Amino acid sequence: MAKLNLNRVEMPRQDPRKRGKNFNEVALGYSPEQAQEEAGRCIQCKKRNCVAGCPVEVDIPDFIQAIRDGDMPEAVRILKSKNALPGICGRVCPQESQCEETCTLAKKEAPIAIGRLERFVADWERGNVPQAASSPPARPRPSGKKVAVVGSGPAGLTAAADLARLGHGVTIFEALHVAGGVLMYGIPEFRLPKEIVQAEVEFVASLGARIELDSVVGKLATLDEILANGYDAVFLGTGAGLPMFLNINGENLNGIYSANEFLTRVNLMKAYKFPEYDTPVKVGKKVAVVGGGNVAMDSARCALRLGADDVYIIYRRSEVELPARREEVENAQEEGIQFKLLTNPKQFLGNEQNWVVGAECYEMELGEPDDSGRRRPVVKKGSEFVIDVDEVIVALGTRPNPLIASTTVGLETTKYGTVVADEETGKTVKDKVWAGGDIVTGSTTVISAMGAGKRAAASIDEYLRG
Ligand SMILES: Cc1cc2nc3c(=O)[nH]c(=O)nc-3n(C[C@H](O)[C@H](O)[C@H](O)COP(=O)(O)OP(=O)(O)OC[C@H]3O[C@@H](n4cnc5c(N)ncnc54)[C@H](O)[C@@H]3O)c2cc1C
Ligand code: SF4
């Protein structure tokens, strides 16, 4: 039997010294030879552990086999039959805690780089099949049923794609002027080029989903009015876009942003191309980002690329507890982001013009585990110190915007503002209404939102077919 190659093929990346000054993509993707070599490591297990770890149940061994066979159209077909957003997932999904974690090879050493292969297939299609979006699989016979999908993030797009493939008439209502949700306004260009998001949004549209932009449900029409307008079912995928704050002194000073506002300005409104695009953004020289998740890493790395000399991540626990993807923490470290761990702001200090000039912080230590299972950070008495800053970005997490819940009769919500829905089906307590993604779970991941969209689409289909 051939000896197992345990070394996964590394993916080339932009040099850290150069990439900290540009918004071009950091990871450069596999060449065809590298993809072949990595695909060649897959042992085509009978028990498909990798598939069990994928929330959208992609037939992983089959698309990897198609790469090995050099049959790229077949690899695309297999991948896209389950996942309408492979170029996105191949870039930002935490495969290390999903399909790659359950891959059989992970028990021995390096699992197959499933995410990188997924990205390779999606990129091959975009580079070689220019009309990919305009030549989707044949449309099924219309069911005559109408479904409204509210929100065009990964949850909404996935639900819309699956419902359209099943023959239902789907309309996506999106509040912003562009579809994609966090994929467009949150995750920066250097991790997820917007051209790729838009190509995959177009693919969903090509399956038959109509997209109505600038349509804020709860303002232009309420959910109940949509239902009264002849829709047979509604899927709510409006995410968790409301930022949380520290609620400490000085948080209202000039130069302090929520990560949502900062990233929306930079990514969606292209402030990094000012004045070519007319969105201004404060360009700090000493920038503190409070938080330790992907949002904090993205904010810090954007601030660096905008021209900051020193960018600090201020996080109240230790490196082990950082919730961001390991890969993104390493990227940030390589680029020179400075980690102030076991540190928490006490207050922000301002000058006479009310611009932030400092973050007074406590040193922290870890106590007993809290409800989340992580060790609770505890203030070290008398440990206050000041970090000089001229810009602060607060990246503490988000909650759902209350607009829809407050304008809809009969939706049940939790004390965190999330909508209560069945975990398996996404069904809410309100007749004809399903929900999934961050609006139900609070901020999680792209793939868990997609999984929720998929399960809800199956449940809506079952309901519509009586
Ligand atoms: C900066 C950042 C980086 C991240 N990095 C990663 C990562 O690397 N990997 C990962 O897996 N996850 C990451 N995440 C998390 C991930 O992006 C989210 O979990 C995911 O996008 C949730 O999908 P969703 O469809 O539920 O909601 P969203 O993506 O938030 O989409 C919701 C959509 O609904 C629209 N909407 C809201 N209200 C209304 C309304 N009333 N009417 C009509 N439309 C409405 C919004 O405009 C938005 O387009 C990141 C999040 C952020 C903010
Ligand atoms: S578990 Fe890993 S090695 Fe086995 S088929 Fe899946 S990707 Fe290949």
| 222-266 per-position pLDDT tens digit | 999 999 999 999 999 999 999 999 999 999 999 999 999 999 999
The residue-averaged pLDDT of 4-11 equals 78
Residue 193 preceded by cis peptide, ω within 30: no
Q: Nearest bound ligand to CA 52?
A: 2
What is the full DSSP assignment across 40-56? TT----SS-HHHHT-TT
For the Cβ of 99 lying below 6 angstroms from any atom of ligand 2, the answer is: no
Q: How far is CA 19 from the centre of its chain?
A: 21
Burial 243-261 (b: 16+ CB within 10 A, else e): bbebeeebbebebbbbbbe
Residue 135 predicted with pLDDT over 60: no
- Which residue has tokens 């309309």? 171
For the Cβ of 52 lying below 6 angstroms from any atom of ligand 2, the answer is: no
- CA dist., res. 233 & res. 184, Å (int): 26
For the Cβ of 239 lying below 6 angstroms from any atom of ligand 1, the answer is: yes
Of the candidate ranges 67-71, 149-153, 369-373, 455-459, the one whose mean pLDDT is the lowest = 369-373
- CA dist., res. 416 & res. 156, Å (int): 21
**Contact in structure between 427 and 234 (CB atoms under 8 Å):** no
Residue 311 predicted with pLDDT over 80: yes
The residue-averaged pLDDT of 314-340 equals 94
The residue-averaged pLDDT of 39-63 equals 95
pLDDT given for residue 131 in this prediction: 61
Residue 275 preceded by cis peptide, ω within 30: yes
Atom 13, ligand 1: which residue's CA is nearest? 445
Residue 165 predicted with pLDDT over 80: yes
Cα(85) to centroid of ligand 1, in Å? 14
**Where do the domains of the chain lie, and which CATH numbers do they carry?**
16-130 (1.10.1060.10), 146-241+399-464 (3.50.50.60), 245-396 (3.50.50.60)
pLDDT given for residue 136 in this prediction: 62
Tally of CA atoms within 13 A in the half-sphere of 85 that contains its CB: 33
- CA dist., res. 23 & res. 25, Å (int): 7
Cα(35) to centroid of ligand 1, in Å? 30
Tally of CA atoms within 13 A in the half-sphere of 66 that contains its CB: 18
Q: Is 410 helix (H, G, I), strand (E, B) or coil?
A: coil
pLDDT given for residue 134 in this prediction: 47
Tell me the whole-structure pTM to 2 decimals: 0.93
For the Cβ of 217 lying below 6 angstroms from any atom of ligand 1, the answer is: yes
Banded pLDDT at 186 (limits 50, 70, 90)? very high
Residue 464 CB coordination number (10 Å): 19
